[in-house]
Amino acid sequence: MTGTDEDDVRPTSLAAIDRAIHQCRRCPIGLLDNTAVMGEGLKRSILMVVGEQPGDQEDRAGKPFVGPSGQLLDRYLAEAGIDREATYVTNAVKHFKFVQRGKRRLHQSPTSGEIDACRWWLDSELAVVRPKVVLALGGSAARGVLGKSVTISRTRGHPIPLDGGGEAWVTAHPSYLLRLRDAKKREQERLFRADLAAVAERLAELSA
């Protein structure tokens, strides 16, 4: 896709979004040798989990959160009593941003402009799925959901009302936990568990 949001007609189904993101050239990431990765899960889910972008394994599989970060997320969701099968999981950016180093593709974080360009697709998913709770994993995901950069330590642990309805919760990305060691790792794992427990409690309230 090229052009501006105003020039485009917003897709009204997940299938239409899936088709469109494979043609998207709104930012330079779409020009790389990669494949757009669509979100997956229930079309009408009370919870949407938003990550940063597909990684190398997600790009190759065409599915979100299938690599080490996804496996860690699944474990923590299960611990909190959140059923991933009843959750819609996606990313703020739909293509894998990387630099080639020999045979390896090394992850590169998306810029704020690239995240903002991809909000068109995330907003389209939100409009279709209509979750009551959106869990943003990491700063890039938080910017995609909220439309602005926030500090995780200042925003985690409480709901943030969304303009389109529902509420956002912000926590760290599982990949951050994978990079930590020792006492800092234990502390961040504790905070991550607490964040997911709070989300699980909120989901129970909304489902009652």
How does pLDDT run across 76-132, given as a tens digit for each residue? 999 999 999 999 999 999 999 999 999 999 999 999 999 999 999 999 999 999 999
The tally of CA atoms less than 13 A away on the side-chain side of residue 77 is 23
Q: What is the mean pLDDT of residues 134-139?
A: 98
Average pLDDT estimate for 181-206:
98
How is the chain split among helix, strand and coil, in percent rounded to 5?
50, 15, 40
- The stretch 15-28 carries a mean pLDDT of 96
Higher pLDDT, 6 or 92: 92
Map out the domains of the chain with their CATH numbers: 5-207 (3.40.470.10)
CA distance 55 to 137: 14
Radius of gyration for the alpha carbons in the chain, expressed in angstroms and rounded:
16
Mean pLDDT score of the chain, rounded to an integer?
A: 95
Residue 12 near residue 125, CB atoms below 8 Å: no
Question: In terms of pTM, does the model score above 0.85?
Answer: yes
pLDDT tier for residue 45 given thresholds of 50, 70 and 90: very high
pLDDT of residue 6: 43
Q: What's the pLDDT band for 17 if we cut at 50, 70, 90?
A: very high
* Strands annotated E in 113-175: 133-137, 160-161, 167-171
140-162 pLDDT, tens digit per residue, is 999 999 999 999 999 999 999 99
By the 8 A CB rule, do 137 and 192 touch? no
Q: Is the Cβ–Cβ distance between 177 and 139 less than 8 Å? A: no
Unique residue bearing structure tokens 């998207």: 24
Taking residues 23-27, report their average pLDDT. 94
Widest pairwise Cα distance in the chain = 53
Yes or no: say if 157 and 198 are a contact pair by the CB < 8 Å rule: yes
Nearest to 52 by CA among 85, 94, 81, 99: 94
pLDDT for position 1: 40
Does residue 50 register a pLDDT over 60?
yes
Given a cut of 90, whether residue 58 has pLDDT beyond it is: yes
Higher pLDDT, 4 or 144: 144
